[in-house]
Structure 1
Amino acid sequence: MTIHTSGLTRHFGATEVLNGVDLDLGPGIHGLLGRNGVGKSTLLRIVAGQLKPTSGTVEVFGQRPFDNARVMDNTCLTGVDTAYPGWWSAADVIKGARLRYRTWDQAIADNLIADFALDAALSTRYEKLSRGQRAMVSIVIGLASGTELLLLDEPYVGLDTHNTSVFYRHLLPQADSGRTIVMATHHIDDAAKVLDSAVILGRDGVVVKQCVPEDADRYAVAGPELVPIDDAPRHARAAKFDDLIEHVLEVS
């Protein structure tokens, strides 16, 4: 198991963000879904070793991740809001990542840069990039890093339809790579097509449900509830994975 948490909590002063998160994730592509402010980014930062939990257990590769070189050298956390040095050029940010990760795959980076048509923006200071261009840089870094654990925090916010398709086209081959990829996202319709599981983080700071695509074959959305397929109305039996995820989000 790549990630294991038990009773994980995180408070910021008197504010309780995570309140007993139990989670087990192994290789594959997993979605981390939930409403704004439920603690998705906080959870990713704890798993990446950047934040200490207030209480509970968190293990990555069987070790506590906080300030742990073994874990952090094999984990890449990136996203559109990652605080890369604003005065660096986009090329410098990517170069810094290449030097940071011994598992870096330059061929993946080059292909993504070409497919995103990002070449013209490489000389631009990171702080001057558009939100979409920052998303592209974060995707290049994340997929090319080659780390065993990849944490993507809203990776394609700001991308247009074409570049979102580019992202998924490059993400799909990673599904069978042995990497564990956790993607915090609001784009449920797109994400549901590639996810091995979807972790729903509720407003009370706990994991409400972890859905897998097979659940869409076993359960259907009927009114306000999930019901077993055998008991569902015929029209409800065609429920798709994204419908299932949407339903759990609505009631959590």
Structure 2
Amino acid sequence: MTIRTRDLTRRFRAKEVLTGVDLDLGPGIHGLLGRNGVGKSTLLRIVAGQLKPTSGTVEVFGQRPFDNAFVMDNTCLTGVDTAYPGTWSGADVIKGARLRHRTWNQQLASDLTADFAMDQALETRYEKLSRGQRAMVAIVIGLASGTDLLLLDEPYVGLDTHNTDVFYRHLLAQAESGRTIVMATHHIDDAAKVLDTALILGREGVVAKQCAPEDADSFAVAGGELLPIDAASRHARPAHFDDLIEHYLEVY
């Protein structure tokens, strides 16, 4: 098991953001979904070793992650709002990630920058990049890092339709890699195409539901009622799986 938490709680002053989170995740592509402010980014930062939980336990690769060199060397947390040095160019930020991660896949990085047509973003200072360009930089770093654990925090906010398709094509290619990938996202329709499981982080800061595509093989959500449908493959399932996710988001 890559990630295991038990009764995990995180409080910021008087505000409790996460409350009793129990989580078990192994290799695969997992979606972390929930309303704004329920603690998705906080949970990712705890798993990445950047924050301590207030109480409870968290293990990554069987170890406590906070300030743990082994865990942090084998984990990449990135996203559109990651605070990379503003005066560095996009190319410098990616180069820094290449030097940081011993598992770096330069061929994949080159393929992604070409598919995204990132020439302008690579030459521009990071602080001057648009959100879409920052998303591209984050995606290149995350996928090319090659780390056993990849945490993506809203990775493709600001991308146009073409570049969103580029991201999902390359993400789907990681499905059988043995990596554990957790993606916090609001884009349910697109994410449902690639997720092995979807975790619903509810309003109370707990994992209220974890569902998988096979849960949508026998039922689809329509008008609040569960109706029988045909079984769906990974590539044909989104019309059913995303409905199921939306249903649980409304409930929790």
Q: TM-score range by the shorter chain?
A: over 0.9
Q: Residue 148 of structure 2 aligns to which amino acid in structure 1?
A: E
What corresponds to 2:234 in structure 1? none
Alignment of 1:74-153 (within 5 A): 74-153=74-153
> CA RMSD for the aligned pairs?
1.2
2:170 counterpart of 1:170: yes
Any idea what SS the aligned residue of 2:174 has? Answer: helix
C-alpha distance after superposition, 1:160-195 (max 9, x if no partner): 000000001111110000000000000000000100
Distance (whole Å) between structure 1 residues aligned to residue 94 and residue 214 of structure 2: 38
Inter-partner Cα distance in structure 2 for 1:97 and 1:220: 42
For residue 222 of structure 1, report the CA deviation from its aligned partner.
5.6
What letter matches 2:196 in structure 1?
D
Residue 240 of structure 1 aligns to which amino acid in structure 2? Answer: H
1:2 maps to 2
Number of the residue aligned with 1:68 = 68
CA distance in 1, matches of 2:135, 2:224: 36
In the TM superposition, residue 217 of structure 1 has moved relative to its aligned partner by: 1.7
Distance 2:220 2:207 in 1: 20
Q: Which residue is 1:237 aligned to? A: 229
Q: Give the SS at the match of 1:205.
A: coil
What stretches of structure 1 of length at least 5 have no aligned partner?
Answer: none
Over residues 77-122 of structure 1, what are the superposed CA-to-partner deviations in whole Å (9 max), with x where a residue is unaligned?
Answer: 0000000010111111000000000000000000000000002221
**Aligned residue identity for 1:13:** R
Segments of 5+ residues of structure 2 without an aligned counterpart are 231-238
How far apart, CA to CA, are the structure 2 residues paired with 1:222 and 1:182? 28
What SS does the aligned partner of 1:240 have?
helix
Aligned to 1:251: 251
> Matched residues in 2 for 1:111 and 1:155: separation?
18
Percent identity of paired positions between Structure 1 and Structure 2: 83
Dislocated runs of 4+, deviation >4 Å: none
- Which AA in structure 1 matches 2:171? L
Partner of 1:12: 12
1:223 Cα shift? 4.5
Separation of aligned partners in 1, 2:222 and 2:96:
50
How much does 1:221 deviate? 2.6
* Paired residue total: 244
Retained in 1: the 8 A contact 2:221–2:240? no
Indicate the SS of the match to 1:164.
helix
The residue that corresponds to 1:23 in the other structure is 23
Q: Deviations over 1:117-164 (max 9, x none)?
A: 002221210000000000000000000000000000000000000000
